[in-house]
A = this chain, B = another copy of it.
Amino acid sequence: MIKVGIIGANGYTGFELMRLLAAHGRAEVVFASSRSLAGQKISDAYPTLAGKYGDMVYDDVDLERAAKCDVIFACLPHGESAEICGKLIDLGTKVIDLSADYRYDDVSLYEKTYKITHARKDLASEAVYGLPEFNRDKIANARLIGNPGCYVTASVLALKPLVGGGVIDPRTVIIDAKSGVSGAGRKADISYNANEVEGNFKAYGVTTHRHTSEIEEKSGAVVTFTPHLLPIKRGILATIYCDLVGTLDDVKKAYSVYDSEPFVHVIGTLPEIKTAVGSNCCYIGYKYEEKTGRLIVVSCIDNLIKGASGQAIQNMNVMFGLPETEGLPLVGFHL
């Protein structure tokens, strides 16, 4: 069994890692730390974990102990994560970082986007972007993974084959994205109070959202990115508009890159949020509007699974030579 540690385990991505790994046949969580809840029983924070994790308590962040694990999932705020992951790498363990810190090829773009100086530029260039559909070989040999953002995963899986194949005009891309509330993490913030969220819907971060630069770097397109907050817990749907320069056959051919992917499905209809939620899959569909020459692509994922913890486990599976689908849900909840 692969020994897994989770740092920042009390948040939603940390919980989701524990939930998914409970059904993983080749890995087990042996270390889970939380500064705010150190010493407390994990099942007090998440009673549903009682059956699987019994009396396990949240550790303090003890990097020496953490480094005894075969792999660490870091669920930490950006900025802070770079340094801690760096120390763990120095101590000799493998690390999958769910923050933004090791995602960018261009560190200066990261620094500009997050208004922060990168603490470990040495490792930033070594880290591999954890999108297995495009980086499988590098991931297999990596010791440090920058796990993609949720909006980015939905957007880049939809756009990259189209841009790469020259099928769309990459300067015409608009991404109108909608996310469930768990995308904001586990926060005591009046904006996410149920009274303010239920029955509501709003745009936020319009023209300024940080994921824009990551989407642009990874997809090769220039994008207008408008995220919105849905009154649901999990799931992302991105409605993407762009000018088609090729034919619909070219679109089909471009997407054939996913034909044998277990976790990306290009379907004949437009996917809905409930198609994806609960699974580690990205579902993509598209329609062409003759009147305007626009291609409209809809891409859906579960932000906590393919958009975070599930993709992180997929990366772990690749890094350790396990079957890539091990422990990962192929089917969503629907309900």
Contact = CB atoms under 8 A, between A and B. Distances in A.
Interface of A: 12, 15-16, 18-19, 22-23, 46-52, 174, 176, 178, 181-182, 186-190, 192-203, 206-207, 222, 224, 226, 228, 230-235, 237, 239, 241, 262-263, 265, 267, 269-279, 281, 283, 287-289, 291-292, 294, 296, 298, 304, 329-335
Given A23-B329, A335-B195, A201 B273 contact: yes
A131 to B, nearest CB: 18
Contacts of A230: 201, 230-231
Contacts of A190: 186-188
A187 to B, nearest CB: 7
B232 A201 contact: yes
Contact of A186 (B52, B195, B265, B288): B195
Given A232-B201, A279-B51, A195 B181 contact: yes
Given A178-B201, A188-B189, A47 B267 contact: yes
Contact of A233 (B50, B192, B198, B273): B198
Contacts of A18: 331
B200 A232 contact: yes
A197 B200 contact: no
A12 B272 contact: no
* List of 9 A-B pairs having minimum Cβ-Cβ separation, nearest first: A202-B272, A48-B332, A194-B197, A176-B176, A200-B274, A51-B330, A188-B190, A207-B289, A201-B273
B296 A226 contact: yes
Contacts of A207: 287-289, 291, 296
A220 to B, nearest CB: 15
Contact of A231 (B192, B198, B294): B198
A231 B232 CA distance: 8
B278 A195 contact: no
15 contacts: A22-B331, A23-B23, A51-B265, A51-B279, A51-B331, A174-B241, A176-B241, A182-B335, A186-B195, A199-B233, A200-B235, A202-B270, A202-B273, A206-B298, A234-B335
Contact of A198 (B51, B196, B198): B198
A181 B197 CA distance: 11
Contacts of A23: 23, 329, 331
Nearest to A270: B203
A244 B12 CA distance: 39
A192 B278 CA distance: 21
Contacts of A276: 48
